[in-house]
Amino acid sequence: MRPVAPVRLILDDVERALLNGEAGAGVATAMELLVAYSDAIGARSLLPIQGAHIDGCLYHGEAGLDFVELLLAQGAKVRTPTTLNVGSIDLIHPEIIRSAPAAQVKPRRLMEAHLALGCVASFTCAPYQTMFRPRFGDQVAWGESNAVVFANSVIGARTNRYGDFLDLCCAVTGRAPAWGLHLDENRLGQVLFRLTGFPASLEATDGMFVAVGLFVGARTGDEVPVIEGLPPPRTEDQLKALGAAAASAGAVGLFHVVGVTPEAATLGDALGGRPPQAVVEVTPNDLREVAARLSTVPDGAALSAVCLGTPHFSEDEWARLSVLVRSLRPARGLPIYVNTGRATLESVERAGVLTSLREAGVIPVVDTCTYVTSILEAFEGAVMTNSGKWAHYAPGNLGCAVAFGDLEDCIASAAAGRVVRAAP
């Protein structure tokens, strides 16, 4: 059988002008890379985007810095509203960073170079909690796995999972390849995950949403999962946690929850009227097992710290934390790190609740995250978290022992100085 020739990308007049350098050398460089990528994946055309979110401002080495500074030297600027993911430094609270000053120079340069390109100083993995939240149906080009899955699933915007460099090329050109999850026909559910054996009055706990995300992510390849039988979430933060866990345990870029997410009013809507390619039953024991694997220490283990907010804490989560801290009174000297976005922290500060939280040991962290940046002190005991993503990555990144639990369990454990849980 003769191999099929790749489809040639068709550019419109504006896109050809960008490629030919009529908007400057920097835009032409970004367009050349975007065209090469689009050709390689077989996209037929490009499409205009309403926004971008850049994952490449977290320093991983010289290549990322060289690329951004090249675009700057060539006069590039972003052509669409563009937010930034976390970097390697808390620029607002630099005193909490434990790395040597010399090691912070290039990571800071990388963050500042993105600002010079015209990006917004959001430095958050949850851009959907800012004023730049897209609307249903918006075409965007987002990096950062939890942001991508939230935009697609919870909002109903359209984006693929864009990696470093490519997300910035989309922002500088204002275009993305018309391919993958940008197209309606690729957004239909394929694998059905059906919760089975749960009580009719199933409670929507944070831990349950994390466990469902881990289970689905580990068993989904590049298919779109549909989840049936999940109770309505208490807030969208639970869907945020589900998506972050699914994207960490696998490669999920879009999920549907029947009766909850915007493209899944019914099972038929989620599947597009087609039968699922496979049906996977999810039992209570399945969820207990995946949640248990997040903890590397038993109940009763001593704690060194609590880390919350991966993805970044929302205003609703700050309000819950404030109530819990007042009622449970965490032990003095045990730090509670809360990763959050700048805009969210400013709102919490204006509300006047941060002073009492600081007195209780709460330490806000912005612009970065405690599992990627050297912030935590030496680990004499375990670190407890309510984040499936933090628990998934921190043992490998930081070498620490981890306990996973709901937010209520985390603060109760902070008060006790050891891991305690209200329920399994």
Do 230 and 95 share a structural domain?
no
State the pLDDT confidence band at 379, using cuts at 50, 70 and 90: confident
Instruction: Using alpha carbons, list the distances in angstroms from residue 387 to 23, 309, 342.
Output: 43, 7, 19
Distance CA 208, CA 233 (A): 10
Query: For 220-243, what is the mean pLDDT?
Result: 96
> pTM for this structure?
0.95
| Owner of token pair 């907010």 | 309
Q: Are residues 254 and 311 in the same domain?
A: no
Residue 399 has pLDDT above 50, yes or no: yes
Q: How many other C-beta atoms are found inside a 10 Å radius of the C-beta of residue 359?
A: 10
Whether the pLDDT of residue 5 is over 70: the answer is no
Look at the chain and report how many structural domains it folds into: 3
Provide mean pLDDT across the span 36-56: 97
| 140 and 221 share one domain | no
Give me the residue label for tokens 């831990």: 207
- Of 253, 270, 292, which residue constitutes the final position of a domain? 292
**How confident is the model over 335-342, as a mean pLDDT?**
97
Domain boundary (292, 327, 361) is at 292
Same domain, 236 and 369: no
192 or 331, greater pLDDT: 192
Could you tell me which residue, 236 or 99, shows the higher pLDDT?
Answer: 236
Q: Are strands 175-177 and 46-48 parallel, antiparallel or unpaired?
A: antiparallel
* Bridging pattern class, strands 303-313 and 51-54: unpaired
Give tens-digit pLDDT for 154-166. Answer: 999 999 999 999 9
Q: Which strands make up the sheet holding 225-228, listed edge to edge?
A: 256-257, 225-228, 191-195, 278-282
32, 155: one domain: yes
| pLDDT for res 4 | 41
pLDDT in tens, 167-203: 999 999 999 999 999 999 999 999 999 999 999 888 8
Backbone phi, psi, residue 400, to 5°: -105, 155
Whole-angstrom distance, CA of residue 134 vs CA of residue 115:
21
Q: Which residues contact 268 (CB under 8 A, 6 or more apart)?
A: none
Query: Could you read off the pLDDT of 269-288 as tens digits, one per residue?
Result: 999 999 999 999 999 999 99
Could you give the angle at the alpha carbon of 51 between the alpha carbons of 168 and 109, nearest 5°? 40
pLDDT tens per residue, range 98-126: 989 999 999 999 999 999 999 999 999 99
pLDDT in the model for residue 3: 43
Asked if 24 and 162 sit in the same domain, the reply is yes
**End-of-domain residue from the set 231, 264, 292:** 292
Task: Provide the pLDDT confidence category of residue 45 given band limits of 50, 70 and 90.
Answer: very high
| Residue range(s) defining the domain that contains residue 316 | 303-416
pLDDT above 90 for 221: no
Q: Which tokens sit at 323?
A: 């109530």
Position 197 in a domain: yes
195 and 154, same structural domain?
no
Q: What is the pLDDT of residue 377?
A: 79
Task: Based on the fold, state whether residues 258 and 371 are members of the same structural domain.
Answer: no
Q: What is the mean pLDDT of the chain?
A: 95
Tell whether 72 and 214 lie within a shared domain.
Answer: no
In a domain, 147, yes or no: yes
